[in-house]
C-alpha cells in the first residue's frame, strides 16, 4: 500500500509541474515583475545632513520600495564622502547639486556668467568619466540668494539684486560666516553689479534671520529653499546677471544602476516636478513643524499620485 501511495504522489506532482510550465507560470521566465539578480540587491541611497536631503532621500526610497525594491538610506554624509562612495560602488543613488558638482567635486574653473545649462552640461560630462550617470533634474535650485524684508521690498519695488543697487549705500548686509568672503559670494556680487553696502556684519547663519527681523541688518544671504525665508516674511531677489552659481538638484546614480530600466523609470517621475516654493514648504514641515522626513516624503508622493496611499 505504501508503494502504491508513493507512486501516486509522484505521478500527481509530475502532472502539476507539467501544467504549471505549460501555462507559463514559471517565476523566472519572461516576467517583468520578477526581479533579476541585480534588482534583488538592496539599493543604497545617500544623503547629506540637512532638511531637504533627508526628505529627498526618503522620496527616492519610497518610490523604489513601491516597485518592490529593498532600500537602505545612508544620510548625514558630506559632499566628498558621497562622491567617493558612489565611485566605489558603496552608494547607488543620491541627490546632488550642479554647483557643488561643478566646483567642489569636478574642480572646474568658474564661469564669467553662470549659465545653468552650461554648468549642467559640463557636470553631466564630467561625472560620466567617473562612471556616474546624471538621471535628471528635479526642478528646483538651492542657490545662495540675497533677501530683504518683504514689506521693504514692496515699498521700494525691489525684486532683483540690480534693483537693490541704489539703496545699498544706506544698508547693512548681514552675512553668514563665509558668504562675505567666498569668491562666488558677496565679492562676486559686488564685482558684477557694482554694489556697495554701507557695512557688512558677519554672524552665525541662525542669527542673520533674527538680525533682519529686528532690523539690525537690512539684507542677508539665505538659500532659496530655506524655510525661514517664508517664516520671516522675506523677499528673495533675482540675479539677472547670473553672478551667483546655480545649484540645481539632480538625481545621480552609478552607471550599473542606471542600466536597470525599471529603476530609472521609477525615479524619472520626479523630473522637473518639484519647484523651489514646494521644496521650501516641505522643508518647513521638517524644520518648523518637526515632522519626520519619511512622513513628509510619503505625504507628498501620495498627494502627487506617485505611490499608493
Give residue-wise pLDDT tens across range 191-214. 999 999 999 999 998 899 999 999
Question: What was the pLDDT predicted at 32?
Answer: 30
The H or E element that residue 267 is part of is helix 261-267
Rounded Cα gap, residues 75 and 260, in angstroms = 24
Q: Are 259 and 270 in contact (CB under 8 A)?
A: no
- For the chain, percent of residues with pLDDT exceeding 70: 87
Give residue-wise pLDDT tens across range 255-297. 999 999 999 999 999 999 999 999 999 999 999 999 999 999 9
pTM of the model: 0.83
Mean pLDDT check: name the lowest of 123-127, 178-182, 297-301.
Answer: 178-182
**What SS3 class is residue 61?**
helix
Q: How confident is the model at residue 38 (pLDDT cuts 50, 70, 90)?
A: very low
Write the secondary structure of 146-191 as one string of H (helix), E (strand) and C (coil). Answer: EEEEHHHHHHHCCCEHHHHHHHHHHCEEEECCCCCCCCCCHHHHHH
Helical H segments across 27-94, by residue range? 37-40, 51-66, 79-87
Question: What was the pLDDT predicted at 104?
Answer: 93
Q: How confident is the model at residue 87 (pLDDT cuts 50, 70, 90)?
A: very high
Q: What is the mean pLDDT of residues 16-38?
A: 35
Rounded Cα gap, residues 271 and 259, in angstroms = 18
The H or E element that residue 134 is part of is strand 132-141
Question: What was the pLDDT predicted at 206?
Answer: 87
Question: What was the pLDDT predicted at 4?
Answer: 36
Instruction: Quote the mean pLDDT of the chain.
Output: 89
Would you state the cell numbers that stand for residue 92, as one nine-digit string?
547607488
* Contacts (Cβ under 8 Å, ≥6 apart) of 248: 97, 98, 99, 116, 119, 120, 137, 138, 140, 141
* Torsion 252-254-259-265 (CA) sign: negative
pLDDT over 80 at 15, yes or no = no
pLDDT over 90 at 2, yes or no = no
Question: What was the pLDDT predicted at 73?
Answer: 98
Give residue-wise pLDDT tens across range 164-179. 999 999 999 999 999 9
Mean pLDDT check: name the lowest of 2-6, 36-40, 49-53, 276-280.
Answer: 2-6
Rounded Cα gap, residues 21 and 129, in angstroms = 45
Q: How confident is the model at residue 70 (pLDDT cuts 50, 70, 90)?
A: very high
Q: Are strands 248-254 and 132-141 parallel, antiparallel or unpaired?
A: antiparallel
The per-residue b/e assignment along 33-46, b for 16 or more CB within 10 angstroms, e otherwise, is eebeeeeeeebbbb
Q: What is the mean pLDDT of residues 7-16?
A: 40
Question: What was the pLDDT predicted at 41?
Answer: 80
pLDDT over 80 at 3, yes or no = no
The H or E element that residue 74 is part of is strand 71-74
The H or E element that residue 100 is part of is helix 98-100
Rounded Cα gap, residues 26 and 44, in angstroms = 30
Would you state the cell numbers that stand for residue 202, as one nine-digit string?
558677519
pLDDT over 90 at 185, yes or no = yes
> Residue 306 class from Cβ within 10 Å (0-12 exposed, 13-18 middle, 19+ buried)?
middle
Set out the domains of the chain in order of their start, with CATH numbers: 38-142+246-303 (3.40.190.10), 146-237 (3.40.190.120)
> Residue 104 class from Cβ within 10 Å (0-12 exposed, 13-18 middle, 19+ buried)?
middle
Question: What was the pLDDT predicted at 85?
Answer: 97
Give residue-wise pLDDT tens across range 295-307. 999 999 999 999 9
Question: What was the pLDDT predicted at 183?
Answer: 85
Question: What was the pLDDT predicted at 13?
Answer: 39
Better-scored residue on pLDDT, 30 or 130: 130
- For the chain, percent of residues with pLDDT exceeding 90: 84
Amino acid at each position: 500500500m505504501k508503494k502504491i501511495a508513493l507512486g501516486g504522489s509522484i505521478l500527481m506532482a509530475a502532472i502539476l509541474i507539467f501544467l504549471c510550465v505549460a501555462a507559463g507560470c514559471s517565476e523566472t521566465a519572461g516576467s517583468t515583475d520578477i526581479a533579476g539578480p541585480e534588482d534583488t540587491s538592496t539599493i543604497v541611497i545617500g544623503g547629506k545632513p540637512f532638511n531637504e536631503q533627508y526628505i529627498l532621500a526618503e522620496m527616492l526610497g519610497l518610490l523604489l520600495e513601491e516597485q518592490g525594491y529593498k532600500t537602505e538610506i545612508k544620510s548625514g554624509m558630506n559632499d566628498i564622502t558621497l562622491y567617493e562612495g558612489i565611485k566605489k560602488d558603496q552608494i547607488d543613488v543620491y541627490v546632488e547639486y550642479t554647483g557643488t558638482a561643478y566646483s567642489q567635486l569636478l574642480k572646474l574653473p568658474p564661469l564669467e556668467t553662470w549659465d545653468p545649462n552650461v554648468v549642467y552640461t559640463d557636470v553631466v560630462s564630467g561625472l560620466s568619466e567617473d562612471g556616474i550617470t546624471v538621471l535628471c533634474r528635479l526642478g528646483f535650485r538651492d542657490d545662495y540668494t540675497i533677501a530683504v524684508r518683504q514689506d521693504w521690498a514692496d515699498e521700494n519695488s525691489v525684486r532683483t539684486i540690480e534693483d537693490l543697487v541704489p539703496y545699498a549705500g544706506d544698508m547693512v548686509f548681514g552675512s553668514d560666516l563665509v558668504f562675505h568672503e567666498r569668491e562666488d559670494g558677496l565679492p562676486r556680487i559686488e564685482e558684477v553689479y557694482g554694489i556697495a553696502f554701507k557695512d557688512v556684519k558677519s554672524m552665525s547663519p541662525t542669527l542673520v534671520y533674527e538680525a533682519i527681523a529686528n532690523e539690525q541688518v537690512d539684507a542677508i544671504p539665505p538659500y532659496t529653499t530655506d524655510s525661514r525665508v517664508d517664516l520671516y516674511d522675506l523677499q528673495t531677489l533675482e540675479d539677472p546677471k547670473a553672478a551667483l552659481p546655480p545649484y540645481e538638484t539632480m538625481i545621480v546614480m552609478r552607471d550599473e544602476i542606471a542600466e536597470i530600466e525599471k529603476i530609472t523609470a521609477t525615479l524619472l517621475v520626479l523630473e522637473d516636478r518639484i519647484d523651489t516654493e514646494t521644496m521650501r514648504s516641505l522643508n518647513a514641515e521638517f524644520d518648523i513643524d518637526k515632522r519626520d522626513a519619511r512622513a513628509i516624503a510619503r505625504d507628498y508622493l501620495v498627494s502627487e499620485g506617485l505611490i499608493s496611499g
